[in-house]
Structure 1
């Protein structure tokens, strides 16, 4: 009995090496099999969309390669945001993580900021509020809050350079 999945199993046997090759080519350390899984899904989606075409192998290669690179970029962005400077520049700190950061750092930051700028840091990074919420609470415009955020980020880059 031939099922609809048995055809894909044959394709998988034929192209599984391609997934491993691309993982190796991109210097990916795939301890958990996450990237293999991404490659497998990309192969399956390519199979469903382009099965039987002469250029299936090229399409599968391009699709798997693109998905792996997309995941690498995504993880790179996450890793970048996990640094303290990255948190300040774009990632919000949760109240839980606030307590785990050096209190001296917060004191230093507060000393270098105006009262308005410190309020922005508290509400945006410590309390995890949106720009719109901050604007409503401070009775100002969203653009004013964004501008304040840019000023704060400039100061924080200087302050955190040595940290």
Structure 2
């Protein structure tokens, strides 16, 4: 295989890369996955052993494998990270939940909640006041349970560190 330059191999197998992008229905991310395919083809070119079979089969296996690995990584990342507009979330939290708390309960929690981020406050209100489970909160706000769990951990850590004067 090393009798040909990589540029020639790329010209010969460019169709394989494009075909895999189509088969995996990744055409909306064509440029990104095309690059993954080129890198995978380069790896196949460097690591090919002619005694173990044909280069075409090895290239197909390597290119497809790299693309599937990239898809898995992106899915895993997407499952654990959700983008939010802070202003929109704040407004939603205020509109959706502040009216559920009676004023005496809310005023007694204010000194504690002021030490927390909005997301941590959301966890306190939903879990403690409304008695919701992590999974329910996660579904309601479109985030993973791990995300809600991290809000919980941070809120508890911060609340343990709060030392308010007696009578507040």
Question: How does the TM-score come out when normalised to structure 2?
Answer: 0.52
SS at match of 1:33: helix
Task: Name 2:60's counterpart in structure 1.
Answer: 61
Counting only pairs closer than 5 Å after superposition, residues 112-127 of structure 1 correspond to structure 2 as: 122-123=116-117, 125=119
Task: Name 1:9's counterpart in structure 2.
Answer: 7
Question: How does the TM-score come out when normalised to structure 1?
Answer: 0.53
For residue 104 of structure 1, the aligned residue among 78, 82, 92 is 92
> 1:89-143 CA deviation, whole Å, 9 max, x = no partner?
x43778xx3223252335645758xx7xx96xx459469xxxxxxxxxxxxxxxx
Counting only pairs closer than 5 Å after superposition, residues 66-145 of structure 1 correspond to structure 2 as: 66-78=65-77, 80-81=78-79, 90-91=80-81, 97-106=85-94, 108=96, 122-123=116-117, 125=119
Distance 1:159 1:28 in 2: 30
Answer yes or no: is 1:23 the counterpart of 2:21.
yes
SS at match of 1:60: helix
Aligned residues: 120
SS at match of 2:44: helix
Task: Name 1:156's counterpart in structure 2.
Answer: 137
For residue 31 of structure 2, the aligned residue among 30, 33, 37 is 33
Q: 1:158 to 1:66 in 2, by over 3 A?
A: closer
